[in-house]
Each structure stands twice: as C-alpha cells, then as structure tokens.
Amino acid sequence: MGMSSPGEGEGTAMSDINVTPMVDVMLVLLIIFLITIPVITATVKVDLPKVANQPTKTKPENITVAIDANGDVFWNMARVPNDQALLDLVKGVAVQDPQPEIHIRGDSQAKFAAVGRTIYLIQRGGVVKVGFITEPDRGFR
C-alpha cells in the first residue's frame, strides 16, 4: 500500500486501485469451489433403472383399466359407473390365483386426481401388480 508514487508529493495518496488482493481472494475462492464440488455431488449410491422400452406382454388374464380425458373409468372396454363398482370389480379379481395384472391406460389430458383415485381403489381392492401403458417416445415433439 504505497502512499505516493515517485515524482509526487510525500503526503498525497495513490489514486490507482490495487486489484491484486481482490484477484488473490478470487483465486482462493475458485480453488475452494473446485475442491468442494466433488464432495457436494457425491450422494447416496443407488442403482437407478435403465431406460428401456419393452413391449407389453399381453396375457388373456390381464385387465386394462382406461381413464379418458373426462375422468371416466373403463374396465376392459365397459364403463364403470362409480368408485364402488370399480372396487367390487377389483376385489373380484384379487382373489384369483394367480392374480392378474391391471394395466392402467390414462389419457394424457386426464386429471391426475382421476388416475390417483383409480390407483387407490385398485390398491384397496387387493391387486398387487399394477402397470402403466404409455406411448413410446418417438424422438420428436
């Protein structure tokens, strides 16, 4: 921290900004961030599922539950009038051995509440195997 430069009077202060301490601090911060980033990104090791689109193996005993854009529920092609009727249908197939799978086909415009209510009723009915039917990603939108 020089107070004066050569050729100036002894009592005048330097008017130039000394950026060297600021550069030193920034370099230290950069080094600290480079060291701590790998520590931050390390998380709990889990084996994530691999993306693979496998065609559905349709068995005659599988049941398709469709939900249209209005929230109406269809059991294999027949409209289900209310939640209790769907619950009765699910309880009827839950006692079969082996238990059939239920495949849910939800319209892309269907409300999540309708799909969630259907999943809840299937769970309450006692069916264990539930899957979702989706369209494969064609790579364009």
Where residue 47 falls among pLDDT bands split at 50, 70, 90?
A: low
Domains of the chain: 63-132 (3.30.420)
What is the rounded end-to-end Cα distance, in angstroms, of the chain?
Answer: 62
**Residue-wise pLDDT tens digits, 48-90:** 555 556 666 666 678 989 999 888 999 988 999 999 999 999 9
Q: What pLDDT is attached to residue 140?
A: 47
- pLDDT (mean) for 123-138: 83
For residues 107 and 71, give the distance between their C-alpha atoms in angstroms, rounded to a whole number: 9
> Which amino acid type is present at position 66?
A
- Side-chain half-sphere CA neighbours of 22 within 13 A: 3
Q: What pLDDT is attached to residue 92?
A: 92
Q: Which among 96, 100, 105 is positioned nearest to 61, based on CA atoms?
A: 100
